[in-house]
Amino acid sequence: MMAFGRSLLSFVCIAPVAFAFNNIPFRNLHRKVHLAPSNAVVGNTLDGVDVTVKATELDDSLGLSPEEKTVVNIHRVCSPSVVYVTSVLSSSSPVSTRTRRGRKKAESNNSQKQENKLPNGMSLGSGSGFVIDSEGYIVTNYHVVQRAYESNQAVLQYEKFWDDLAKNTTKNIKDKLSFSNSNVVDNVEGVLNRTVNAITGRENNETEVLPVGVFVRFGENGETDGSVTSYYYCEIVDVKKELDIAVLKIMESSDKMNNLLKPMEYGSSSNLVVGQSLLAIGNPFGLDRTITSGLVSATGRSVTGVAGNQIKNCIQTDCAINPGNSGGPLLNLKGEVVGVNTMIISASGSSSGIGFAVPGDSVKESADKIIELDKQRRLRNAKRKGRGWLGAAVATSSLEESLRKRLISSLKQNKNSDEVVGAFITSIDTKSPLMSQEGVSTTSITNGNVQIGDRIVSVGGNAIENAEAFVTEMKGRVEGENLSLTIENVSGERRVVYVTLGQIPL
C-alpha cells in the first residue's frame, strides 16, 4: 500500500495535468502552508508603513466570530500581494529564425508591453505568485513558467552559439594570418559579424525580444486603466528547479508600481504542527485572489518535483487547491507565508483534499539568494558599488536553533555562562576575504583564524544577537569597506578579525 502511495504521488508531481477555463490553461501542481492561532493579529510592514489589522476592528454588526474576522482581515491585507501569472508565446516573435518582418512585429509587441496589454499569442501556462520585495520581485512555481523559461533559454543558447562561432573564427584568423594593416583585420571581423547577423536574422547586432513573455496582473478589477486590466511584463530572474520555484521581476518603472508592490512576510515552516489552521490564496481557474482554508494534515512529506528530485519537508494540507493555485502562498493566521502551493493528488485533476506545499523556509533562503545576486548584477551593470561580500555562511532557522541549544547545554555542564549570542559560522568560501592572510588579524586573546563553528558576536562594534541580525547588519555594508568582526569560539574566547569586504561573485 505504501509503495502504491509513493508511486501515485510521484506520478502526479512529474506529469501535471493541464486544464482550461475560459481558454486559460492551468496545471495542477500546488503547495501548502499552515496557520497560526485564530486570535492572532494580522500584520506586515510594507516599506515602513504599518498595515497591521486587528480582528477586533471589524464591524460587530456583521456577527463574525474571532476566527472569521481573522480570516477576513488576512485576505484584505495579503490578497493585494497575490498576482496572476501567465506566459504567452507571441504570434509576432519567431522562435527558430528571425526576419526583418519579425523584428518590426516585435517592436509592435514592445508597445503592447508599455501599454500594459497582454500580447496576442498562445498561452504556455498560468498560475499564481506573490510579491516578496518592494523592487518588484515575485515568487511563483517553476512549472508555472517552465515552458516560457525553456523556450527563451533555447533562443539565448542559439544566439550564444553564433556569437561564439564568430568570435572564435575571428580569433583563429588573427592567430594564423599576420596582417600588417589593422584595417584588414577589422574588415575580416566585419565580414564575419555580418555573416552571422545574416544567418540569424539580426541587424546591426540588435537583439530580438525573447519569443515568450511572462506577465502578471494584480487582480481582475483592482488595478485597471479604465475598463482594461493591466498586465505587467516580467523577467524570469532565475529558477530553482529542485524546489519548483522561480523568481520573476516586474520590469515596469518602480514609481508606477509603488502602490501595488506590497511584499509578503515569511513565517516559520519548520515550526508547523499537524492540526494548525492554514489559508491558501491564489487564482484557481483564473478566479483572482480566491481564499480557501484548511489544516496542516502532515509535515515532513517528500514529493517528487519537476526536476525529478525529492523535495523534502513538504507540508500536506487539505486546503482546497485547484489548477491555477500553483505558485500561490499558503499562510498562517498571522498572514505569514509558510509555504508555496505546488501540487495535489487527485483522480479528477481538481482538489480532493490532498495538497502539498514547498516549505517556506527553503523558499525564502533560495529566493533571497536569487534576488540578492540579481540586485548586485544590476548595480554592477550600472557601474555602482554593490553590497560587500564576506564569504561566510551562517546557520539559520532550525539549524541555528539546534546549535544554540546544544551549546547552551554544553555550557551548563561545564558551569560556564549559558548566554549564547551571535551568528554560527557554518562554512567559509575558499575565495572569502577571511581566507586571505592580508585580511585577517587577531588580537592577543587567542591565536588562529576564524573556524567553522565560531560565532560572530559583533560587526563593526555593533552587537549581533543571531543570524537574522547578522544578515541585516551586512546588508548595509559595501564592497571595499574595512570591517572589524568579533569572533567567539565554543570556549568563550574572543578575538577581533579585520577584513576588507570583497565583491559578491556572480
Q: What is the CATH number of the domain that holds 8?
A: 2.40.10.120
| 425 pLDDT more than 50 | yes
Same domain, 483 and 423: yes
Number of structural domains, the chain?
A: 3
Give the model's confidence band at 445: pLDDT under 50 very low, under 70 low, under 90 confident, else very high.
Answer: very low
| pLDDT: which is higher, 292 or 33 | 292
Rounded CA-CA distance 86/24 in Å is 9
Same domain, 332 and 411: no
Chain mean pLDDT for the chain:
77
Domain that holds residue 160: 155-194
Distance (Å) of CA 419 to CA 257, 264, 456: 45, 33, 14
**3-state DSSP call for residue 313?**
strand
If asked whether residues 172 and 290 sit together in one domain, one would say no
The mean pLDDT of 351-355, rounded to a whole number, is: 87
Structure confidence at residue 405 as a pLDDT band (50, 70, 90): confident
Exposure of 244 by Cβ count < 10 A (0-12 exposed, 13-18 middle, 19+ buried)?
buried
pLDDT of residue 506: 82
Residues 328 and 215 grouped into a single domain: yes
pLDDT at 358: 97
| More reliable by pLDDT, 229 or 268 | 268
Same domain, 217 and 336: yes
**pLDDT tens, position by position, 102-148:** 444 444 455 555 567 888 888 898 999 999 999 999 999 999 999 99
Could you read off the pLDDT of 46-69 as tens digits, one per residue? 444 444 445 556 667 778 888 899
At residue 176, the pLDDT reads: 65
Residue 375 lies in a domain: no
Which segments within 150-261 are labelled E, that is strand? 212-217, 224-225, 228-229, 232-240, 245-250
Query: Can you give the pTM of this predicted structure?
Result: 0.72
428: domain CATH number is 2.30.42.10
In a domain, 491, yes or no: yes
Per the model's pLDDT, the better-predicted residue between 16 and 300 turns out to be 300
Residue 5 near residue 267, CB atoms below 8 Å? no
Query: Half-sphere exposure of 493 toward its Cβ, with a 13 Å CA cutoff?
Result: 12
pLDDT in tens, 478-501: 999 999 999 998 888 888 989 999
Residue with the bigger pLDDT between 333 and 257: it is: 333
Say whether pLDDT at 180 is over 70. Answer: no
Assess whether 211 and 186 both reside in one domain: no
Reply yes or no on whether the pLDDT at 28 is more than 60.
no
Q: What is the mean pLDDT of residues 296-310?
A: 89
Q: How many of the other CB atoms lie within 10 Å of CB of 253?
A: 9
Mean pLDDT along residues 426-437: 81
What interhelical angle do 397-413 and 360-381 show, nearest 10? Answer: 110
CA 99, distance to chain mean position in Å, is 35
Structure confidence at residue 185 (pLDDT): 61
Mean pLDDT of 290-296: 96
In a domain, 376, yes or no: no
Mean pLDDT of 395-401: 84
Q: 156 near 208, Cβ under 8 Å?
A: no
Say if 374 falls within a structural domain: no
State the DSSP H helix or E strand holding residue 488, giving kind and residue range, or none if neither: strand 482-488
Residue 380 domain-assigned (yes or no):
no
Asked if residue 200 and residue 181 are part of one domain, the reply reads no
pLDDT computed for residue 350 by the predictor: 75
Q: What is the pLDDT of residue 54?
A: 55
Whether 379 maps to a domain, the answer reads: no
**Rounded mean pLDDT, 142-166:** 86
C-alpha cell at 15: 506529469
* Residues 395 and 346 reside in one and the same domain: no
Residue 303 shares a structural domain with residue 220: yes
Cell readout for 202 is 539580426
Q: Are residues 160 and 275 in the same domain?
A: no
Instruction: Give phi and psi for 339, each to the nearest 5.
Output: -175, 170
With respect to residue 8, please indicate whether it lies within any of the assigned structural domains: yes
Q: With contact defined as beta carbons under 8 Å apart, do 121 and 105 qualify?
A: no
Q: Are residues 189 and 141 in the same domain?
A: no
Q: Has residue 397 got a pLDDT over 90?
A: no
Identify whether residues 178 and 231 lie together within a single domain: no
Q: Is residue 479 domain-resident? A: yes
Q: Assign 306 a pLDDT band (cuts: 50, 70, 90).
A: confident
Residue 393 β-bridge partners:
427
